[in-house]
């Protein structure tokens, strides 16, 4: 039974209200500004560097039906209202972090989701919501992201949808109970209060808009903003998505316990102005924590953000177009695991969805196709007790290479999420017992192309105190692929240089790695794939990339460019090399994955010494079950 909304005023809003164009623009920009102010309040008040510095938090303002009108990572409220079975009253603020209780509206326990219904004159007029990633929520490892968790119960405290504020009064005992289960209660309390302050700011701004234009005009304006988005997205869908079924698949490399890669498969087709995405063929759920409980509404949100950023960034990003999309995700797969499957390390699979969308959408419109890029938010964690006996704990998100695109080169050392920022090295060195010895992009790590893939980032952490680290990353086995003749980007690697000079290749996903003072970890992320024929990139651009340290002189030869000792282009030798390379290569490929999975496994083991992953247990079990069923056993 869904949630029940208690209103003292049941008068419906005027269905005939229609804002004029100027009023509509004013309301839209006022809501955009309110959304930005929510961020500003949070980032200036929170304590954890993950939220304060890297901005790992997502606000939204929705209409009374819970459809996001402005925001960044919306679609929370549908899952919440479907999963919550109590009453929703004026003055309530809800808190949850349990993906299984809100149908995947959030996707792991570290994300604390808060929702506030906004009542005015006794009627529900809007919603404000925000979630932020908490550095720690308990569980078996510092940071609460255990790679080897087999069940969600190992990952930290689970909070089903509760009223953390009831009719305006804080449930202090419940909040204290939740914080008691966290390693950094002061940070969590501060971040929680900052999130609540952002919600209250949104409420004030909604009231100000209503005071100026009236409740009916405000509601009508939000409805028109959603409808306008739907019309624009409908035009894009009909323009770029073919009726013929398209298919694409990609992988995350492993699950941190020795098995992989795990396949994500998706088919796409259009019927009229509606498009269907069907994930049949995706591998079964993992026995570790790399599962991603993908909410169908969240996937639609991903798709909308992808479309708008590619085709028309002026379109207001909201939930208006959701009725145009059908999403089918089979249960029991790595994208819809059954409880109590662990979920904490779902980031790799979440990020890979963007590569899947790019591969699907680009087949019908190769000129609009993006290469594969930094489709992840790799985590680094470092914790322990300082010499003064105080607990320290760092959670940081790594950046990498954005793919080559139809409009140009991919940015170097950037985040999957455009709004994320880095933690300043000065901040890290001031608050944690470490020194940053390297912070630079990795030359040649971006795939060669007419438009170069962005380079990955190398960040060197020298540890000054004994402690433990965790590494969560991907693309150490498979390449970020190139498109339209572009070459794949370089894979990631993690290298530990011990204080005594020993060099160790680290696993891509590992916890509880002990470090001593003087040990240095080089956290090297992957580059983006290239776009277009690298032999057509102007040689002068390649020479400029070499001068800037983004490409090496040897790497320039991947573009068929030969440089003189002074760094200038040797035009005659460049022409000869390009002719030779074009003849030996043949036709350019739409996708370049760098080889089959088996070829990549062999190459990776040879280059790194790391043992390649084996077939996933659940995948093997399900395959055998299907075979037996087909044989009539």
d(CA 338, CA 546): 50
Question: Is there a contact between 530 and 453 (Cβ–Cβ < 8 Å)?
Answer: yes
With a CB cutoff of 8 Å and minimum separation 6, the contacts of 250 are 263, 264, 352, 355, 356, 359, 372, 478
Count other Cβ atoms within 10 Å, centred on residue 545.
23
Q: Tens of pLDDT along 281-329?
A: 999 999 999 999 998 988 998 888 888 877 777 888 889 999 999 999 9
Confidence (pLDDT) at 633 = 52
With a CB cutoff of 8 Å and minimum separation 6, the contacts of 442 are 455, 456, 457, 458, 490, 524, 525, 527
Report the predicted TM-score, pTM, of the whole model to 2 decimal places: 0.93
Confidence (pLDDT) at 419 = 79
Whether the upstream peptide bond of residue 261 has omega within 30° of 0, thus cis, is yes
Question: Is there a contact between 379 and 472 (Cβ–Cβ < 8 Å)?
Answer: yes
Confidence (pLDDT) at 76 = 74
Partners of residue 276 on adjacent β-strands: 269, 326
Q: Which two tokens mark 348?
A: 């790799």
Q: Per-domain residue ranges for the chain? A: 4-233, 241-294+329-367+597-633, 370-533+588-594
Q: Tens of pLDDT along 430-473?
A: 999 999 999 999 999 999 999 999 999 999 999 999 999 999 99
Nearest to 137 by CA among 200, 184, 93: 184
Confidence (pLDDT) at 619 = 53
Secondary structure element (H or E) that encloses residue 456, with its range: none
DSSP 176-216: HHHHHTSS-HHHHHHHHHHHHHHHHHHHHHHHHHHHHH-HH
Confidence (pLDDT) at 625 = 46
The low-confidence residues of the chain, meaning pLDDT below 50, are: 621-623, 625-627, 629-630
Confidence (pLDDT) at 309 = 75
Nearest to 7 by CA among 121, 93, 163: 121
Nearest to 514 by CA among 391, 396, 382: 382
């Amino acid at each position: 039974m869904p949630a029940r909304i208690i209103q003292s005023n049941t008068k419906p809003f005027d269905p005939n209200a229609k804002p004029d164009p100027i009023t509509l623009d004013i309301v839209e920009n006022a809501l955009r500004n309110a959304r930005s102010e929510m961020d500003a309040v949070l980032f200036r008040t929170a304590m954890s560097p993950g939220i304060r510095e890297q901005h790992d938090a997502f606000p939204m303002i929705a209409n009374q039906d819970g459809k996001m009108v402005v925001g960044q990572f919306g679609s929370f409220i549908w899952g919440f209202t479907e999963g919550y079975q109590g009453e929703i009253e004026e003055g309530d603020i809800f808190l949850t972090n349990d993906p299984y209780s809100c149908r995947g509206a959030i996707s792991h326990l570290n994300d604390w989701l808060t929702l506030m219904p906004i009542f005015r004159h006794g009627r529900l007029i809007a919603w404000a919501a925000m979630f932020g990633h908490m550095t720690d929520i308990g569980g078996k490892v510092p940071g609460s992201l255990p790679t080897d968790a087999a069940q969600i119960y190992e990952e930290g405290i689970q909070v089903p949808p509760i009223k953390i504020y009831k009719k305006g009064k804080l449930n202090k005992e419940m909040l204290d109970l939740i914080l008691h289960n966290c390693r950094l209660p002061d940070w969590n309390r501060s971040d929680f209060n900052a999130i609540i302050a952002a919600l209250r700011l949104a409420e004030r701004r909604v009231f100000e808009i209503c005071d100026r234009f009236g409740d009916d005009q405000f509601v009508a304006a939000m409805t028109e903003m959603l409808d306008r988005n739907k019309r624009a997205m409908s035009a894009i869908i009909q323009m770029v998505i073919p009726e013929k079924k398209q298919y694409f698949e990609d992988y995350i490399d492993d699950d941190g316990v020795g098995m992989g890669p795990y396949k994500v498969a998706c088919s796409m087709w259009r019927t009229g102005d509606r498009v269907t995405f069907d994930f049949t063929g995706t591998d079964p759920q993992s026995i570790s924590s790399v599962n991603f409980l993908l909410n169908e509404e969240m996937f639609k949100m991903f798709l909308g953000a992808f479309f708008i950023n590619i085709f028309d960034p002026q379109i207001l990003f909201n939930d208006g177009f959701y009725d145009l999309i059908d999403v089918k995700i089979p249960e029991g797969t790595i994208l819809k695991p059954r409880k109590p499957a662990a979920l904490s390390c779902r980031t790799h699979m979440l990020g890979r969805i963007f590569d899947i969308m790019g591969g699907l959408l680009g087949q019908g419109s190769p000129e609009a196709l993006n290469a594969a890029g930094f489709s992840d938010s790799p985590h680094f964690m470092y914790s322990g007790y300082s010499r003064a006996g105080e607990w320290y704990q760092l959670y940081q998100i790594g950046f990498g290479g954005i793919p080559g695109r139809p409009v140009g080169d991919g940015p170097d050392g950037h985040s999957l999420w455009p709004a994320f920022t880095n933690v300043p090295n000065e901040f890290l060195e001031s608050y944690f017992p470490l020194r940053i010895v390297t912070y630079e992009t990795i030359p040649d790590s971006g795939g060669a192309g007419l438009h170069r893939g962005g380079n990955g980032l190398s960040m060197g952490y020298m540890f000054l105190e004994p402690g433990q680290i965790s590494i969560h990353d991907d693309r150490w086995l498979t390449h970020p692929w190139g498109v339209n003749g572009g070459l794949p980007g370089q894979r990631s690697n993690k290298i530990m240089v011990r204080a005594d000079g020993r060099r160790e290749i680290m696993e891509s996903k590992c916890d509880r790695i002990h470090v001593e003072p003087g040990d240095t970890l080089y956290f090297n992320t992957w580059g983006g794939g290239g776009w277009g024929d690298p032999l057509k990139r102007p040689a002068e651009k390649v020479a400029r990339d070499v001068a800037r340290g983004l490409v090496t002189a040897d790497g320039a030869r991947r573009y068929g460019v030969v440089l003189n000792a002074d760094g200038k282009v040797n035009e005659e030798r460049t022409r000869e090399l390009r002719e030779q390379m074009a003849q030996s290569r043949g036709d350019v490929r739409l996708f370049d994955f760098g080889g089959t999975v088996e070829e990549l496994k062999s190459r990776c083991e040879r280059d790194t010494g790391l043992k390649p992953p084996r077939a996933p247990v659940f995948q093997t079990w399900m395959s055998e079950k299907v075979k037996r069923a087909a044989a009539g056993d």
